[in-house]
Amino acid sequence: MGMYGTCETVVLDGVPAHRDSLLTEEERAAGGLMPICVSRSRGPRPVPDL
């Protein structure tokens, strides 16, 4: 859609390395969401719910 936040995706496995300003600190700590357009994985491979 081209709007910030529309790429927010559920993470099934892996640890996100957040580079976003969208999620709250609590949401980041929970590790269940990741804006895949700007964030990456801390591990070898994330498993997003696509």
Q: Where are the domains of the chain?
A: 8-48
Residue 3 has pLDDT above 80, yes or no: no
Bridge partners (DSSP) listed for residue 35: 8
Quick: pLDDT tens for 10-44. Answer: 999 888 899 888 899 999 889 889 998 888 888 88
Q: Is the pLDDT of residue 1 over 60?
A: no
User: What's the pLDDT at 2?
Assistant: 62
Strands of 47-48's sheet in order across: 33-35, 8-13, 47-48
